[in-house]
Amino acid sequence: MSAVSIEAMVRAAHESKNYDPLLEMIPYARLLGIRCLRLGDDAIFHLPANPDNIGNPTLPALHGGVIAGFMEQSALLHLLMFMGIPHMPKIIDFSIDYLRAGHFRDTYAQCQVWRQGRRVANVAITAWQTTRTEPIATARAHFKVDGA
């Protein structure tokens, strides 16, 4: 997808407050069913409860890889939506801390860009289920944003 079309898609999403077309262009985000909720200037990413995402059927609890993938995709989408990057950022590294079990229920994530340079952006991600003050995981991601 060209830089012009990504920029145009982000602009259209902001104007319409509908981020579904942007999410649909990313296959893994589409597979997980990630949605974006705008609350003023903030974006909250939503992972709906889905039986296919269960890793431990005894609890039942979400698979850790699904939680990590959701958080990584949220950070990538956050960069696209708010940092004016005209192309898909590329992941450099990702580090996650699992804090408690992710039960079989809707999960939410919020991102914060700690630093965006010309080449690299650092993003902090927090995921929760019932309340933001009880996160199920936190993560840090570094993305290459220079397009080279």
d(CA 124, CA 33): 21
| pLDDT of the residue at 147 | 63
| pLDDT of the residue at 137 | 98
> What are the tens digits of pLDDT across the range 74-104?
999 999 888 877 778 899 999 999 999 999 9
Q: List the domain boundaries for the chain.
A: 3-144
d(CA 16, CA 23): 14
| pLDDT of the residue at 26 | 87
Report the relative pairing of strands 120-128 and 107-116 from DSSP bridges: antiparallel
For 2, the token pair is: 């060209």
Give pLDDT < 50 ranges for the chain.
none
Paired strand residues for 36: 45
Closest to 46 (Cα-Cα) out of 137, 98, 107, 104 = 107
- Of all residues in the chain, what percent carry a pLDDT higher than 90? 61
| pLDDT of the residue at 148 | 55
d(CA 114, CA 79): 11
Write out the H or E segment, with its range, that includes residue 135: strand 135-144
Q: At the topology level of CATH, where does 3-144 sit? A: Thiol Ester Dehydrase; Chain A (3.10.129)
| pLDDT of the residue at 72 | 97
